[in-house]
Amino acid sequence: MDPGSPSVLWGVQGRKPVVAVMGEPSKADDRSQSPGLAERLTSPSSPPAPPSPQPPQHQFQAALVAEKYLLLEQVEGSSLCRCVDVRTQEEYVCKVVSRDCSSLLQAHYRLDGHPHVNPIHEVLVGDKRVYLIFPRSHSDLHSYVRARKRLREHEARRLFRQMAETVAACHEQGIVLRDLKLRKFVFADAQR
């Protein structure tokens, strides 16, 4: 695909393609386009922080994708990045994959509509990468179990049943989950 050529932007809910022109993400210097977001990312009158004895291990630079989403830091314990819709200020998570990972996108579409699978909110296709935008989740099962230390049998049974149904749905669609762990199971709402 030629740089600057139209890319397809799917609003998955309606499945109606919309043409969007996008290249690679621009750096966060474009924050001035969204004053509410710029205020969140910079603290205007805070005193300078004392110098740190060691540089931070994980530095990130925010990037603007399709002039719509600002990609922020990577979610702890995950390959996903936090992102914010610059127009609505709504928070999402984004998985960035290379354009030749069409099998990942196909797998998500095969599971679309399953009650225990996080739906894709939007797909942005760039020149080199594909950006899968998902609704924000509220913690994961690993963190939940560690915080609770032990679960009552009826709660463990309910959660395990959902996990088993999800894995079975994947297998029915020919999808094999290779790295299955509690961190991969996230909660759709804060009440769990």
Question: What CATH number does residue 91 fall under?
Answer: 3.30.200.20
- With a cut of 80, say whether residue 185 has pLDDT above it: yes
- With a cut of 50, say whether residue 6 has pLDDT above it: no
pTM to 2 decimals? 0.67
Q: How far apart are the first and last CA of the chain?
A: 43
Q: What is the pLDDT of residue 61?
A: 76
- Give the structural domain span for 63: 6-42+59-135
Asked, for residue 189, whether it belongs to a domain, the answer is: no
pLDDT single digits (tens) 67-115: 999 999 998 878 899 999 999 999 999 999 999 888 888 999 999 999 9
Structure-block tokens of residue 29: 């210097």
The strands making up 16-21's β-sheet, listed across from edge to edge, are 16-21, 6-11, 122-125, 129-135, 91-98, 81-85, 69-74, 63-65, 26-27
- What single DSSP character describes residue 128? S
* Residues 122 and 73 placed together within one structural domain of the fold: yes
* Residues 98 and 116 placed together within one structural domain of the fold: yes
Residue 113, SS3 per DSSP: coil
